[in-house]
Amino acid sequence: MAASVHTVESARVLVPLVITFLAPLALWRLRKNINLREGVSFAAAALAFFSVLSMVPGVLDGVIWTYHLVTFFPGVSITFAVDGLSLIFAIVATFLWFFATSYNIGYMRSLNEHAQTRYYFCFAVAIFGAVGVAFSGTVVTLYLFYEVITVFTYPLVAHHQDEEGYKGARKYLVYLMGTSKLFLLPAMILTYVLCGTLDFNLGDISRGMFPPGADPKLVTITYFLFLYGLGKAALMPIHNWLPSAMVAPTPVSALLHAVAVVKAGVFSVSRIMLSCFGVDLLSSLGLGLITAYLAAFTIVVASIIALTKDDLKARLAYSTVSQLSYIIIGVAMLSPLAVKGGLLHIAHHAFAKITLFFAAGAIYVATHLKQIPLMDGIGRKMPFTFGAFAVAALSMIGVPPVSGFVTKWYLANGAVSIHQYILLLALLASTLLNAGYFVPVVYRAFFRPPAEGVDHSHFKEAPMVMVVPLCLTALISVLLGLFPGTFGSFTDVFGGF
């Protein structure tokens, strides 16, 4: 453990949690005044973001902020903790909530969607769950908030309340609740039996929680129960829920893919690997490389499937399945460069992917088009939307100076540093596949004549409350590429890393 790392007990850890807990209640209370209702989301997002930001100086100085809430019995408690890894996820979730609120207003009002208060309420609770996951200091705490996200995003996936919506939502719930009950709960029990505690070992990613004499077979079983119990990470074959959830409104898809749901999954996998098992144990049992190869398989196969999809949201969904495994492969390689690249991708992917989904929603609001072949030429009618889409696509591909390049640079160098050239090849192949399914969308939009039978005369940009957020998130994606230390500083202090 780095000598400068130390814990400080402080109730300030609770402030973002209290804000995000009270926000949904205020939204419901103000449901008859839609302007005040939406104003609550803006205010809560800003307050939560700045309260998270207030903990940054301490963390960069080596402080791990903690707050113990309740102990059920020895080694099993609800405890919150904030370290470098926590801040990456919490900053992303609260910051993007502000942009998502603006976008939500344009989308929901333009389409005159029903049940808007329920929608905003569940959206806000999902952010509360995301902050809780980010600040979890124990496996129990993480599990509880992980389930909060699942339960309260179900109504969002089923929002349209039609047969397709209920079918997608059922699959969503069965996959995520099923894996958490069948795999994640037994993993927690085994961890407690082997370790005598469910408290994360924060401050030292090398040691983890398990004692030196722990049975390797039981440790291995526990590890894979965790890996597949955290189904939100969408590691194949626990991935099919994610494309099925695309029946939800597009802002929900952005929440699922960029802000809360899948990020809670890959964050949790990262936390379990580094703060529960630790680098030394994963390396000695060979579990890191096995996981890296599983992630590489997911990256390549999901990218190939994305190539076959003509529905824009479906293509983006399989892109997400692939991109999430960049985070897992980075952490699983267990080399400093790769781990840094993987953790950075939590933020870098979030800004690019929310831009892509914002663009998909803006296209639908303005044109009611979903199929890529029908989008020929509409980039000339919607230059801001497709320009932002192009920037975010470049990030997914990994073209400098956009942030995705930084991720892939660290991952590639990490693979070389441990002489894993097959993993390097998978990363390079995925980059070509990323280009294969993103470049044609942009090319069609700007350089092809209008598709036959599609009247472009009435097409124009979506409302500015939608276009401005997607342009800003695209711009931030570029800035993160130009200034990689923005989130990189958190990885540098994480676990004495």
List pLDDT tens digits, range 249-265. Answer: 777 777 666 777 888 88
Distance CA(403)–CA(480), nearest Å, equals 5
Lookup: tokens for 163: 């047969």
Arithmetic mean of pLDDT over the chain: 88
Phi–psi pair at 371, nearest 5 degrees: -85, 130
Distance CA(82)–CA(65), nearest Å, equals 5
Question: Of the given ranges (4-8, 297-301, 350-354, 444-448), which has the lowest mean pLDDT?
Answer: 4-8
Question: Of the given ranges (149-163, 350-364, 407-421), which has the lowest mean pLDDT?
Answer: 149-163
Distance CA(476)–CA(413), nearest Å, equals 24
DSSP one-letter code for 88: H
Q: How confident is the model at residue 497 (pLDDT cuts 50, 70, 90)?
A: low
Question: Between the CA atoms of 419, 281, 324 and 352, what dihedral angle is there, to the nearest 10 degrees?
Answer: -80
- Residue 344: which of 326, 363, 367 has the closest Cα? 326
pLDDT of residue 257: 64
Please check the confidence at residue 110 and state whether its pLDDT lies above 90: no
List strands edge to edge, sheet with 76-82.
Answer: 6-9, 63-73, 76-82
pLDDT of residue 494: 78
- Residue ranges in 368-402 assigned as alpha helix (H): 383-397
Q: Which residue has the tokens 């060979």?
A: 286
- Residue 291: which of 255, 315, 327, 267 has the closest Cα? 327
Helix (H) or strand (E) holding 6: strand 6-9
Lookup: tokens for 276: 């529960």
For 41-46, what is the mean pLDDT? 91
83-103 pLDDT, tens per residue? 989 999 999 999 998 888 888
Please check the confidence at residue 348 and state whether its pLDDT lies above 80: yes
Phi–psi pair at 138, nearest 5 degrees: -140, 165
Beta strands in 120-238 (DSSP E): none
- Residue 195: which of 209, 205, 213, 184 has the closest Cα? 209
Beta strands in 217-282 (DSSP E): none
Helix (H, G, I), strand (E, B) or coil at 136: strand
pLDDT of residue 430: 93
Between 159 and 388, the higher pLDDT residue: 388
C-alpha angle 281/286/289, rounded to 5°?
115
For 136-150, what is the mean pLDDT? 93
Positive or negative, the CA dihedral 177, 26, 254, 54 is negative
CB atoms within 10 A of CB 67: 19
Distances (CA, A) of 52 to 39, 173, 217, 303: 20, 30, 40, 35
pLDDT of residue 1: 39
C-alpha angle 340/341/343, rounded to 5°?
65
Please check the confidence at residue 60 and state whether its pLDDT lies above 60: yes
pLDDT of residue 2: 44
272-284 pLDDT, tens per residue? 999 999 898 999 9
Lookup: tokens for 412: 């590639």
